[in-house]
Each structure stands twice: as structure tokens, then as C-alpha cells.
Chains A and B, each alone.
Chain A
Amino acid sequence: MISFENITKKFGSSIVALDDVSLEIAPGEFVFLVGPSGAGKSTLLRLLTREYLPTSGKILVGKVDITKLKSDDIPAHRRKIGFIFQDFKLLEERTVFENVALALQVRGKSDPEILKEVEHTLKLVEIWDRRNLFPRQLSGGEAQRVAIARAIIGKPDIVLADEPTGDLDPTTAWGVIQLLNEVNSWGTTVLMATHNQEIVNTLKRRVVILKKGKITKDSREGTYE
């Protein structure tokens, strides 16, 4: 269970990114965060990864209030979360294989374990044949598949996706969504910030609408408004 309790996040004294937001997400849910740019979607995700601390309020992941985590405990918390970005954030000097392997290296896995798991995951996202290429040699769709592979390889409890289809053509975007749908079917909670109306309306999952830092609507099997 993820629980945001009366979260307010201010940048400086005048910019209010989130204003008294409360939200509960059950394990295994697929939730779309929608809303215009600057509504607070990315801030909400970054609060969950502890990149930001809220100005006030509590964030519970399971029974742990992550706003009170000590800095030494943050890495362990982040290992429970897979993160997918619009701009992929792949490391340019590492191959596809090395980019995905990094997620396991930081977890202290051995080389044979890494080899086995990376092979399995890259085959799952259908990019195994591109394993020795560098990110600049990939198409946008392929790069996002690598990013998804990196996000899911450690079998995280939660996957956060910040505009993962923003830079992709519709066909490629659907491929990415199908992958996230599959990840969700394993019981992984997926929280996805998006502007893609078609995807939100077609998938009919829970939709949380944010506007000017406030939740204006939260509906099961919702649509993009």
C-alpha cells in the first residue's frame, strides 16, 4: 500500500507544486496520473523515490514513512522501485546489456546471476538481439524497452513511469504500454504520469487527475478529461 497523507510540496516560498494531496494506492494497482504540465505529477513520483521531501505530510510505503528515512536507508527503499523516464536516462557509454545489468550490480548481485537475469529480462522486452549496442544506436521504442527492462529487472514492488510514451510514435507507445500492463499483471504496482489521452481512455484503469497541485478527480476505470 502506498499512502500520501496531506502532502504539500513547495519550492521556495511561492511555488506550490502539491497542495494538501491525499491518495491511497493498493498493491498491484495500475494508476494513471494525468493533468496539464506543472500540475504536480512528476513531483508526486519524485516524492515517492525520495528525490524530494514534502514540505508537510506523510508518505507511507507499506508501513514505512519514507519521509523519515535516514539517508543510508534511501538506497534500499529505491531498490523496491523501478523508474521509467520520458528521456530514458540510459547511460550513453554503456551497452544495452550493461545499462540493464547496472540495476543488479547496485544490488550486489554476482556476475552469473546478472547474466542470467539480464538475458531473461532483455528477451522478455524483446531486445536481447540489441544487447551489445549503445543507446545512441537504438530507436526511441527500443531505448524505452531497455529502460523498462532496467526498471523491472530487480522485481520491484512498484514501477513509476514519468511520461514513458511522450517521445514515442503511437505504435511504439502501445508496445510500451503492453509491457507495463504485463508487469502489472505480475502484481507490481504501476504508477504512470501521462498526457496520452488515447492510452488512458483505452486501458480503463484508475485515473487520478491533478490540476495546480490538487487532486481534482480520482476514478476507477476513469478516462482522460
Chain B
Amino acid sequence: MNNRSLEFTKRNIRRSPFQAIAACMVMFLAFFVLLTFTILTFGSQLVLRYYESKPQAIAFFKDGTTDADIKAIQSALSEEDRVTATKYVSKEDALGIYRQRNKNDPTLLELVTANILPASLEVSTQSPEDLKPIAEILKREPVIEEVIVPEDVVESLTAATKVIRWVGLTVVSFLVVFASLVVLMVIGFKIRLRRDEIETMKLLGASNHFIRAPFILEGLFYGLAGALGAWVSIYVILWYFTPILQGYLGEVSLLPVNPLFMLALLGTALFIAIIVGGLGSISAVRRYLQL
């Protein structure tokens, strides 16, 4: 591929801008969906790992529970080898946490008082396997209303991650095949449109490579432009929604997204774009350009 091939590629794209825009948009759509599902998969994996790495059960107290009741439970738990730490979160502490998380939404702050929120006890264990027996012990206490074990969250997240992965894989596979076919169709159409020009070039002594290269480069351009556009859009969207999403994610440090991760994502997207664009254009050249 030399400068002449690039010059001919630019000319080909300029001559039929609407086809070029259509091909780029299809590529953009395919890569936007691909990157979205990739980020969702990685994100849910990280959330999953966060919960798995913090074995913690939360016991919510009934209203009217006395300090003595709480201390008794804490004292009983401290005798358990499996328990590493306990932390009492009073109604006021809970309100503080709630206010901190919703500091940008005054309406939510107005509606909630300390009385609505339950006091709770966070119990950390040596390993995730210890959570269930400890939860059972806590559930037997009459002052405890409910015990939340992250195992439930982990199960739900694992199921959600699987769904995201499979739906993503299916949709992305379909779109990648569709995008390749669109490139094949656009390049094939252009080859047919330029049959006379190709004939003349052949008679002038143009090598097969000289004739083929601009069409293959055109396919690569569509792939790369679509992938780059999708990556930039995703990055901008993530950057814009980071403050809002951070509120939902709480302590899970997922955002702001790591720039290195985004760069790796860009590299992967460009690599796939080369394969998709190249595959489409090479297929078109092999199918329609008989030299």
C-alpha cells in the first residue's frame, strides 16, 4: 500500500460520499453496540468481584431495639472465630450516608428522616462461605428484622452478567456479520460501477495490486472510522454520566473509567475493525474484481 493507493482510496470515497456515510454508520452502530456490551460485561464483572472480595452480612434492626440488645449481639458475635469485624450503623449514621449519596437531589433529602431508615449491623467474616451460618445466627435474634447476605447479590449479578454476555455476543456477532456484508455490498457496487475504469487501468498496465489496493483500503477505512467514532461516542457518554452513575455504584470504584482500559478497548475495536472491513472488502474484490 503506497501513497498512490491512498490517493485513489480518497478519490473513491469522495466520489460516492453517501455510500461512504452509510457504510461508516453501519460500522459505527456495530461497534457502538460491541463496545457497550464489552463495557457492561467488564463493569458487571468488577461489581461481582467487589462483592465477592467483601464478605459482609447486614442485619437490620427492628424499630425500638435498645443499645443493650445491640451490644449483646455484638458481644456474642465477637466470640465467633469466623467473624472478623462488626460495625453498628445507627439511624443517624444511615441518614448521613443517605444524605451523602443523594446530596445533589434536594427532593430526596427532604422526604427522608432518620426515623424512616433502620439501624443496622455490618458483620464481616473470614470468607464468603462463613456468611450463611452467621446470617442464620443473626436471623434467630428477635430484634433483627432482616439479614442481607451478598450471596444473593452475587447470584443475581452472576446471572445478569451471563445474560449480558450471551445477549451481547449474539447481537454483536449478528452486527459484525451484517457490517461485513454491507462493506462487501458497497465495495462490490463500486467495483461494478467502475468496471470501465478498471478495464482501462488494466490496459494501461496497472498491476493487480494497484487496482485492488484502493478497494481494500476503502473497506478498512469504513471499519476504522466506524470503530473510532463509536469509541469516541462511548467515552463522551461515559464521561458525561460518570457523576450520576457514581451515585448508584456507591463504594464500588468503577468510575471514572480507567483511561488505560479505554485505550485497550480502542486497540481491540480497531483490530476488529481491520478484520471486519478487510474481510468485507477482500471478499468483494475476490467476488467482483476478476483480474
A contact residues vs B (CB 8 Å cutoff): 49, 51, 71-72, 75-79, 81, 83, 89, 91, 93, 102-103, 105-108, 150, 154
Residues on A with C-beta less than 8 A from B291 are 71
Is the CB of B163 closer than 8 A to any CB of chain A?
no
Q: Known contacts A93-B15, A105-B4; decide if A75 and B200 are in contact (CB<8 Å).
A: no
Residues on B with C-beta less than 8 A from A77 are 205
Complex Cα–Cα for A10 and B208 (A) = 27
Is the CB of B244 closer than 8 A to any CB of chain A?
no
Complex Cα–Cα for A132 and B133 (A) = 87
Residues on A with C-beta less than 8 A from B202 are 75, 78
Is the CB of B203 closer than 8 A to any CB of chain A?
yes
Q: What are 16 A-to-B residue pairs whose CB atoms are below 8 Å?
A: A51-B203, A71-B291, A72-B208, A75-B210, A77-B205, A78-B202, A78-B204, A78-B205, A83-B203, A91-B196, A93-B15, A103-B204, A106-B205, A106-B207, A106-B210, A107-B205
Across the A-B interface, the 8 shortest Cβ-Cβ residue pairs: A79-B205, A106-B206, A78-B205, A75-B207, A75-B205, A103-B204, A106-B204, A89-B200
Residues on B with C-beta less than 8 A from A75 are 202, 205-208, 210
Complex Cα–Cα for A79 and B201 (A) = 11
Residues on B with C-beta less than 8 A from A103 are 204-205
Could you list 11 further interchain pairs (A-B, Cβ under 8 angstroms) beyond the known A49-B203, A106-B210, A107-B205? A72-B208, A75-B207, A75-B208, A78-B203, A78-B204, A79-B204, A81-B205, A83-B203, A106-B205, A106-B207, A154-B205
Residues on A with C-beta less than 8 A from B203 are 49, 51, 78, 83, 89
Complex Cα–Cα for A150 and B200 (A) = 11
Complex Cα–Cα for A108 and B200 (A) = 16
Is the CB of B141 closer than 8 A to any CB of chain A?
no
Nearest A residue to B210 by beta-carbon distance? A106
Is the CB of B129 closer than 8 A to any CB of chain A?
no
Indicate if the CB atoms of B208 and A106 lie closer than 8 Å.
no
Is the CB of B69 closer than 8 A to any CB of chain A?
no
Residues on B with C-beta less than 8 A from A51 are 203
Q: Which of B201, B205, B210, B291 has the most CB of A within 10 A?
A: B205
Interface string of B1-37 (1 = CB under 8 A from A): 0001000000000010000000000000000000000
Residues on A with C-beta less than 8 A from B146 are none
Is the CB of B155 closer than 8 A to any CB of chain A?
no
Nearest B residue to A107 by beta-carbon distance? B205
Residues on B with C-beta less than 8 A from A106 are 201, 204-207, 210
Complex Cα–Cα for A49 and B208 (A) = 16
Is the CB of B63 closer than 8 A to any CB of chain A?
no
Residues on B with C-beta less than 8 A from A108 are 4
Residues on A with C-beta less than 8 A from B4 are 105, 108
Is the CB of B92 closer than 8 A to any CB of chain A?
no
How close is B191's CB to chain A, nearest CB, in angstroms?
A: 15
Complex Cα–Cα for A103 and B205 (A) = 8
Residues on B with C-beta less than 8 A from A102 are 200-201, 204
Nearest A residue to B199 by beta-carbon distance? A89
Residues on B with C-beta less than 8 A from A71 are 208, 291
Residues on A with C-beta less than 8 A from B201 are 102, 106
Segment 189-241 of B: residues with Cβ below 8 Å from A: 196-197, 199-208, 210
Residues on B with C-beta less than 8 A from A107 are 205
Residues on A with C-beta less than 8 A from B208 are 71-72, 75
Residues on B with C-beta less than 8 A from A78 are 202-205
Residues on B with C-beta less than 8 A from A89 are 196, 199-200, 203
Complex Cα–Cα for A81 and B204 (A) = 8
Nearest B residue to A90 by beta-carbon distance? B200
Complex Cα–Cα for A107 and B205 (A) = 7
Complex Cα–Cα for A102 and B4 (A) = 11
Residues on A with C-beta less than 8 A from B207 are 72, 75, 106
How close is B214's CB to chain A, nearest CB, in angstroms?
A: 12
Complex Cα–Cα for A151 and B207 (A) = 17
Residues on A with C-beta less than 8 A from B15 are 93
How close is A54's CB to chain B, nearest CB, in angstroms?
A: 18
How close is A165's CB to chain B, nearest CB, in angstroms?
A: 20
Residues on B with C-beta less than 8 A from A81 are 205
Complex Cα–Cα for A83 and B199 (A) = 12
Segment 127-165 of B: residues with Cβ below 8 Å from A: none
Complex Cα–Cα for A83 and B203 (A) = 8
